Amino acid sequence: MAEGTRFASEIPEDKLVECFVSEDYLKTDPDLSVFGYDTEPVEVSSAVFGKMSDTDNPQGILCVCRQDQHDLNDFLSKRKGAVRLLVLEGIQDPGNLGTMIRTAEGAGFDAVIADENTVDAYNPKVIRSTMGSIFRVPFISVSDLPGTVEQLKNAGITVYAAHLDGKRNYREEEYGDRIAFLIGNEGNGLSEEITKKADILVKIPMQGKLESLNAAIAAALLMYR
């Protein structure tokens, strides 16, 4: 589900299943010009829309969209050249995940991979935080993250882990054309098993008494570097 005019304007035509609009919304946009293509909305009363909405102050437009399904094997087979991936373990905060997906698009990353302990990418709060990037950045959920990391390495992808034990400053590392960054759970970081799978541990230097940064901020620094 994608709610609000901003998200409606981002939905590709082949992804839109159904659109619900309130009576009040139709007064402001009777032709549904927000989409840029023809669609037949289901009109509901403003009171009913208020029950349907997941937000406190709904804009009056809510869309049901098809979820993308991406297979890692198929994805890797089509990318023999440069590839940049963000790989997540146990990310729990919907806002963090949505921000990472959004930032991945901005930094030119090709996909986001996450284990099954990571929050659902189609959680409404995640969707809102992506600001539309969920429609453009492939999201791949995997059941065996250790096996996935090995698969990436076998495909010639260098796997970096953001880790407190990293000896190398992330700004001083020479990154190649085929890379993946591992980011761990907000509270516990990466598990020992996944950390050992990484090729290189990198550290984001910090002043003061901080031990770590917010997971989404750490991911952003690495991806933009």
Query: Are both 109 and 215 inside the same structural domain?
Result: yes
Q: Are 125 and 99 in contact (CB under 8 A)?
A: no
Q: What is the pLDDT of residues 75-119, one digit of tens each?
A: 999 988 999 999 999 999 999 999 999 999 999 999 999 999 999
Question: What pLDDT is stored for residue 223 in this prediction?
Answer: 97
Report the chain's mean pLDDT, rounded to a whole number: 93
What DSSP designation does 57 have? S
Instruction: Quick: pLDDT tens for 88-97.
Output: 999 999 999 9
Same domain for 86 and 13: no
On whether both 28 and 105 belong to a single domain, the answer is: no
Q: What is the pLDDT confidence band of residue 212, given thresholds at 50, 70 and 90?
A: confident
- What CATH number is associated with residue 103? 3.40.1280.10
Whole-number Å distance between alpha carbons of 83 and 138? 13
Q: Are 181 and 130 in contact (CB under 8 A)?
A: no
Question: Which pLDDT score is estimated for 29?
Answer: 87
Q: Are 191 and 183 in contact (CB under 8 A)?
A: no
Tell whether 198 and 104 lie within a shared domain: yes
Which domain-ending residue is among 65, 81, 107? 65
Cα–Cα distances in angstroms (integers) from residue 176 to residues 74, 86, 110, in the given order:
22, 15, 15
Are residue 40 and residue 85 in the same domain, yes or no? no
Q: Same structural domain for residues 98 and 168?
A: yes
Query: Which stretches of 13-132 are DSSP H helices?
Result: 23-28, 46-52, 72-77, 94-106, 124-130
Residues 80 and 113 in one domain: yes
Same-domain pairing of 88 and 183:
yes
Q: Are both 119 and 32 inside the same structural domain?
A: no
131 phi and psi angles, rounded to 5 deg: 55, 35
* Domain housing 81: 72-224
Give me the pLDDT at residue 167, please.
85
Given 47, 65, 83, which residue is the final one in a domain?
65
Residues 50 and 97 in one domain: no
Burial 142-165 (b: 16+ CB within 10 A, else e): beebeebbeebeebebbbbbbbee
How many domains are there within the chain? 2
For residues 94 and 193, membership in a common domain is answered with yes
**Mean pLDDT across the stretch 31-44?**
90
Residues 178 and 216 in one domain: yes
* pLDDT of res. 138: 96
